Amino acid sequence: MAIKRIGVLTSGGDAPGMNPCVRSVVRTALYHGLECYGIRRGWNGLITGDVVRLDEKNIGHIINRGGTILYTARSKEFMTEEGQLRATATCKFLGLDGIVAIGGDGTFRGAQALSRHGVNVVCIPGTIDNDIGCTNYCIGFDTAANTAIECIDKLRDTMQSHERCSVVEVMGRNAGYLAMYVGLAVGATAVLIPEEPIDFNRDVIEKIRQARFNGFTHYMIVVAEGAGSASDIAAQIKEAIGLDPRVTVLGHIQRGGTPTGRDRVNATKMGYLAVELLVAGKTNRIVCTNAGSFTDVDIEEGLNMHKGIQRMEEDVLMAMTGV
Q: What is the pLDDT of residues 188-227, one digit of tens each?
A: 999 999 999 999 999 999 999 999 999 999 999 999 999 9
Q: Is residue 269 classed as helix, strand or coil in its secondary structure?
A: helix
Encode pLDDT of 50-76 as tens digits: 999 999 999 999 999 999 999 998 888
Residue 315: pLDDT band (50, 70, 90) is low
Which pLDDT score is estimated for 270?
A: 98
Beta bridge pairs of residue 36:
6, 54
Residue 312: pLDDT band (50, 70, 90) is very low
Encode pLDDT of 39-53 as tens digits: 999 999 999 999 999
Cβ–Cβ < 8 Å for 179, 321: no
pLDDT higher than 60, residue 287: yes
Sign of CA dihedral 101, 274, 115, 96: positive
Known catalytic membership, residue 129: yes
Residue 148 DSSP one-character state: H
Q: How far apart are CA 148 and CA 252, in angstroms?
A: 10
Residue 60 is inside which H or E element, if any? none
- Nearest CA to 222 out of 128, 120, 317 is that of 317
Residue 292: pLDDT band (50, 70, 90) is confident
Among 14, 97, 105, 129, the one annotated catalytic: 129
